[in-house]
Structure 1
Amino acid sequence: MARINTYLNFNGNAEKAFRFYQSVFGGELFIQKMKDTPAGKELPEKEQNCVMHVSLPIGKNNVLMASDIMESSGQRLIPGNNYYICLHTESRNEADQLFEKLSQNGVVEMPMEDMFWGDYFGCLKDQFEIQWMISFNESDQ
């Protein structure tokens, strides 16, 4: 496995939180807003400026990442569901194997598939209620 990172969820304040984390840890933020995604213009106006993805490198090989929840998609932030463990794999095959094993007796939130941002990606909640994101990007190899 290439690396493991923490992925956080926020209720509309991901950018503010990450600007704070940047002031603590330094580093350069990457921020993509919901309005800049392929379906962004179809979202309610109040959600268009929410964060689809933000990342902040911390140290040598760690990245703190996050997004805002989308209430229009039925998402609700409840303490305890505001994080994911994000596994970045070294191959599509490894991604599929980990996804299959972790999802046994769990709930698949998004099956593994190619995403518009370039990753092969999926997410799930395992049988112990732990949330996982599995991601592979050919360019990381």
Structure 2
Amino acid sequence: MAVIAYLNFKTESREAVKFYEEALDGYDVRIMTLGELPEDSEFPMDEATKALIANASVKFAGGMIMLSDVPEGMGMTFTPGNNFCVSIVIKDKVLAEKYFNNLAAGGQVIMPLMEVSWSPLYGALKDKFGITWQVNVAEDDYYFTYK
């Protein structure tokens, strides 16, 4: 299992990826834009929004950070200073469900566990202490191998 800091930005993720890559001697940088996600009729996107980061990652010195942009109207609110969450990445679906349900107890489910384009099981929640968590099942070793 990997536990990863996940940083949210209003629209500066691309700039932040470059900064962290350089500052931390990062490698194996991966970027997925909002335009690469399946279209959602409830959230039409213009070209500028499609260019924003849906998910990015930078590996460095035995660790990883992940980043994304939070455009207006996507069900999340960007708040400077509180723009992070903890991401659990695991291969075991049963444990992922257990952790998700345990963390959600007394809290709020933001996105229930479900299959998404990048994962067979993904969900997001805010625990009873106000900490946002993502639980993500990974099918490959990308999140678990570092230089």
Q: For the aligned residues, what is the CA RMSD?
A: 1.9
Runs of 4+, deviation exceeding 4 Å: none
Counterpart of 1:59? 61
- Whole-Å Cα distance in 1 between the matches of residues 46 and 108 of structure 2? 27
Q: Which residues in structure 2 correspond to 1:1-141 (within 5 Å)? A: 2-26=1-25, 27-39=27-39, 42-60=44-62, 62-140=63-141
- Whole-Å Cα distance in 2 between the matches of residues 83 and 119 of structure 1? 23
Q: Rate the CA distance shift 1:74–1:102 in 2: closer, same or farther, 3 A.
A: closer
Unaligned runs of 5+ in 1: none
Deviations 1:31-54 (A, max 9, x none): 111111111793133311100111
1:120 shift after superposition: 1.2
Q: Rate the CA distance shift 1:90–1:74 in 2: closer, same or farther, 3 A.
A: closer
- Whole-Å Cα distance in 1 between the matches of residues 75 and 95 of structure 2? 30
Scaled by the length of structure 2, what TM-score is found?
0.86
Unaligned runs of 5+ in 2: none
Aligned length: 139
More helix by share: 1
Q: Which amino acid aligns with 1:71?
A: E
Q: Between the two proteins, what is the percent identity of the paired residues?
A: 27
Q: Which amino acid aligns with 2:34?
A: M
1:80 shift after superposition: 4.1
Q: Which amino acid aligns with 1:34?
A: L
SS in 2 for 1:139: coil
Bigger shift: 32-41 or 3-12? 32-41
- Whole-Å Cα distance in 2 between the matches of residues 22 and 139 of structure 1? 22
SS in 1 for 2:67: strand
